[in-house]
Amino acid sequence: MVAKTTDRAQRGGHSGVSIEDVALAAGVSTATVSRAVRGLPRVSPATREKILGIAEALGYVASSSASGLATGRTKTIGVLAPFVSRWFFSKAIEGADRELHARQYNLSLFNLGGHGSHRERLFSKTMVYKQIDALLVLCMALTHEEIEHLQKIDIPLVVVGGHVEECPYIGIDDYAAAATAVRHLIGLGHTEIALLHGDDETDLNFDVPRVRIKAFQDVMAGAGLNVREEWDEWGDFTVLSGQNAFHRLWDRPGPKPTAIFCASDEMAMGIIFEATRAGVQVPADLSVIGIDDHDFSEAMGLTTVRQRPDEQAEMGTKMLLDELDGIAGSVRSMVAPHELIVRSTTAPPRRAGVVTRTDAAPGAMTAGAAPGG
């Protein structure tokens, strides 16, 4: 015991008071301190109170490394994300954190960088293995190798917002959500509808964009509507890619669509900004609908299909933690709700024959939010 202090000093002196210090001060064994501070039974109220008081006074906090080593649990769950500053991901992280925080777990963030072959990306079990008790994967495009790695690590796992083969999954029904959006446009009377999807040109496992495309095509076909090859545009879910898509669409000669379905709100905003700048009025000349209900969508009046990544991640985290708590079977796939939110970027198309670029539709605004380029 005296030697202890000496040893510690010799080894460079890890700071902090240990369980033994508390035990000594309280005149009990470390085992009792351990039980007391963790609120376990088998400690008399008197000793518990005494120990807690001393622990508090000494500023004792258990070493997570030590208890992790002893129990085999780190009380930390990992969150794997391709981005952190994009809407879906930052919201999801926030949601996961809520649940984690409430249940005294820590959140370890692993940002892998976007999906795409050109990005540097070292994903190995080394990163996460033995550091976390469970893993929440956010809408990642994963290679087969990565998926294998993941599954070898034998910890609870759930993916939010994108399917990964063989893994439990939480997210909206992308097909239904996209179909809802397209039907809204068709219901308004549109027949000339463009698509701005979010495919990335890689071979990665990421089916969200494809599912939304499929829904678009099916609904259009189901309504007997023509899908024009040249109105099929793509982006990478960002505002900028939406802006670029607008120009590709409008700079090309030929007829223009009266509505466009965008696979994300951010791309929809890009369309709107550039449309405005080009003198194309929304929704008079062009109806725009997205998917997400981004933080800015309400302010912009964007019609969209809402989803709540925070709630999805919160639910996923809850499942993970329940599983760790011994409730086997807690982790399972689940579909999250979506909801059509009609605002003011969608309206019936102008009647045919009306000149497209001059007068505003009744009630439409004329001031500019995207001041001269």
Footprint of DNA (CB under 7 A): 3-4, 7-8, 10-12, 14, 16, 18-20, 27-32, 34-35, 37-38, 41-44, 46-48, 60-63, 66-67, 69-72, 130
Considering only residues 315 to 344 of the shown chain, the ones binding a second copy according to CB under 8 A are 344
CA dist., res. 112 & res. 206, Å (int): 15
Task: Tell which positions 21-80 bind a second copy, by CB under 8 A.
Answer: 59, 61-66, 68-69, 72, 74, 76
CA distances for 166 relative to 37, 151, 157, 286, 317, angstroms: 41, 9, 11, 41, 18
Contact status: 354 vs a second copy (CB under 8 A): no
Q: How far is the CB of 261 from a second copy (least distance, A)?
A: 17
Task: Confirm if 200 and 116 have CB atoms less than 8 A apart.
Answer: yes
Q: Which is nearer to a second copy, 214 or 247 (CB)?
A: 247
Q: Which stretch binds a second copy (CB under 8 A): 158-166, 251-259, 276-284, 314-322?
A: 276-284
Stretch that binds a second copy, among 138-146, 181-189, 255-263, 282-290 (CB under 8 A): 282-290
Q: Which of residues 206-235 bind a second copy (CB under 8 A)?
A: none
When CB distances are held under 5 to 8 angstroms depending on the partner's kind, the choice from DNA, a second copy, none that residue 34 binds is DNA
**Cα torsion angle, 57, 63, 64, 66, sign:** negative
Instruction: Give the whole-angstrom CA distance, residue 15 versus residue 12.
Output: 9
Q: How many CA atoms lie within 13 A of 65 on its CB side?
A: 2
- Which residue in this structure is represented by tokens 């899908």? 227
Q: Strand (E) positions, 106-258?
A: 106-111, 134-138, 157-160, 169-172, 193-197, 232-234
Decide which of a second copy, DNA, none touches 131; Cβ closer than 5 to 8 Å per partner kind: a second copy
Looking at residue 205, the DSSP 8-state letter turns out to be B
Stretch that binds a second copy, among 136-144, 182-190, 299-307, 312-320 (CB under 8 A): 299-307
The candidate with the shortest Cα–Cα distance to 93, out of 125, 142, 136, 140, is: 136
Binding a second copy by CB under 8 A: which of 32, 34, 258, 276?
A: 276
64 vs 356 by CB, closer to DNA: 64
Question: 287: closest CA among 340, 342, 232?
Answer: 342
Place of tokens 């494809």: 210
Q: Which CB atom, from 46 or from 299, has the smaller least distance to DNA?
A: 46
| 8 vs 343 by CB, closer to DNA | 8
Instruction: Provide, rounded to whole angstroms, the least separation between the CB of residue 131 and a second copy.
Output: 5
Q: Which amino acid is at 24?
A: L
CA distances from 56 to 27, 46, 262, 321, 353 (A): 16, 15, 56, 28, 80
Picked from a second copy, DNA, none, the partner binding residue 2 (CB below 5 to 8 A depending on kind) is none
Cα gap 1→24, rounded to integer Å:
9
Q: Which is nearer to a second copy, 203 or 295 (CB)?
A: 295
- What is the spatial distance between Cα 288 and Cα 344, in angstroms, rounded to a whole number? 9
Residue for token pair 């994903």 = 123
The region of 26-34, 248-256, 273-281, 329-337 touching a second copy under the rule CB under 8 A is 273-281
Distance of closest approach, residue 237 Cβ to a second copy, in angstroms: 12
User: Rounded to the nearest whole angstrom, what is the least distance from the CB of residue 66 to DNA in the complex?
Assistant: 3
How far is it, in rounded angstroms, from Cα 262 to Cα 247? 15
Task: Give the shortest CB-54-to-DNA separation in angstroms.
Answer: 13
In the complex with a second copy, the residue whose CB is nearer, 224 or 373, is 373
Residue 365 binds a second copy, judged by CB under 8 A: yes
